[in-house]
């Protein structure tokens, strides 16, 4: 599925992307592709050039690639991840692009845990788990920080995915402390599996999050 952006839409998108601090460096670009579950593309694209050239190449390559899985295109995974780094008005523009070009096979379909290699049986097993070990908590913390590198992205995950207020649950501090407090609260109140499910639903292409979820389940 080749996605052909109109010239004006492409220009607005690139102008938006080159003003995102994380896309100004090679390391940041590589990290965003990894978070989006597009690790392989970092090997196909020269990420070391100037922002406008690299961003233009990223958009071109992802637009021409098509679908990564049955439900999502490479460009959709990238743009969905980018929304975690921008303001609400810019997010609205991204949403308009996704709708205008029908990027994504079925936006109303809920991607279940079984469709991303987590069976319902495994999720139910996690529900029965009374607590996570310290090592498991640390691994989950690192996966969440990698997937949601800004507090604002975590706030949206909790609010829209779980109808919970992050500040009320985890308080302030740096991101590492916030995520730690979040995991402790989720574990003590018995909704760790809901947190994992919501996180994967938000970023279904993120391999780090899927892998740690599988590992937590297998280590019971």
Look at residue 181 and tell me if it is in a domain: yes
**3-class SS at 73?**
strand
pLDDT range class, residue 123, cuts 50, 70, 90 = very low
User: Same domain for 68 and 96?
Assistant: yes
Domain end (from 100, 133, 148): 100
Residues 64 and 149 in one domain: no
In terms of domains, do 197 and 117 share one? yes
**Of 31, 65, 100, which residue constitutes the final position of a domain?**
100
Closest CA to 218 of 147, 134, 116, 136: 136
Contact between 75 and 37 under an 8 Å Cβ cutoff? The reply is no
Indicate whether 165 belongs to any domain. yes
CA distance 93 to 174: 29
Residue 2 domain flag: no
| Residue 120 shares a structural domain with residue 214 | yes
Q: 157 and 95 share a domain?
A: no
Q: What is the pLDDT of residues 139-195, one digit of tens each?
A: 888 888 888 888 888 888 898 888 888 888 887 778 888 998 898 888 878 888 889
Same domain, 123 and 161: yes
First to last CA, the chain: 41
Angstrom distance (rounded) from CA 21 to CA 156: 20
- pLDDT tens per residue across span 33-82: 988 888 888 888 899 989 999 999 999 999 888 787 766 788 988 998 89
Q: Does residue 117 fall inside a structural domain?
A: yes
The H or E element containing residue 29 is helix 26-35
Same domain assignment for residues 122 and 208: yes
Asked whether residue 157 is assigned to any structural domain, the reply reads yes
Residues belonging to the chain: 220
The pLDDT of residue 113: 40
Residues 213, 145 share a domain: yes
Taking residues 92-101, report their average pLDDT: 88
Give me the domain span that covers residue 152: 113-218
Are 14 and 46 within one domain? yes
Name the pTM for this structure. 0.55
């Amino acid at each position: 599925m080749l996605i052909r952006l109109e010239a004006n839409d492409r220009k607005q998108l690139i102008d938006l992307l080159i003003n995102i601090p994380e896309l100004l460096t090679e390391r940041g670009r590589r990290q965003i592709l990894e978070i989006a579950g597009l690790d392989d593309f970092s090997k196909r694209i020269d990420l070391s050039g100037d922002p406008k050239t690299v961003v233009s190449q990223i958009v071109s390559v992802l637009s021409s690639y098509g679908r990564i899985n049955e439900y999502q295109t490479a460009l959709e995974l990238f743009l969905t991840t980018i929304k975690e780094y921008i303001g609400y008005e810019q997010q609205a523009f991204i949403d308009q692009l996704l709708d205008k070009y029908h990027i994504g096979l079925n936006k109303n379909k809920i991607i279940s845990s079984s469709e991303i290699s987590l069976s319902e049986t495994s999720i139910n097993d996690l529900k029965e788990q009374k607590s996570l070990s310290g090592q498991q908590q640390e691994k989950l913390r690192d996966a969440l920080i990698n997937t949601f590198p800004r507090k604002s992205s975590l706030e949206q995950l909790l609010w829209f995915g779980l109808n919970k207020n992050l500040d009320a649950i985890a308080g302030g501090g740096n991101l590492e402390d916030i995520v730690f407090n979040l995991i402790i609260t989720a574990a003590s109140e018995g909704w760790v599996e809901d947190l994992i499910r919501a996180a994967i639903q938000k970023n279904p292409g993120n391999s780090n999050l899927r892998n740690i979820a599988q590992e937590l389940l297998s280590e019971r």
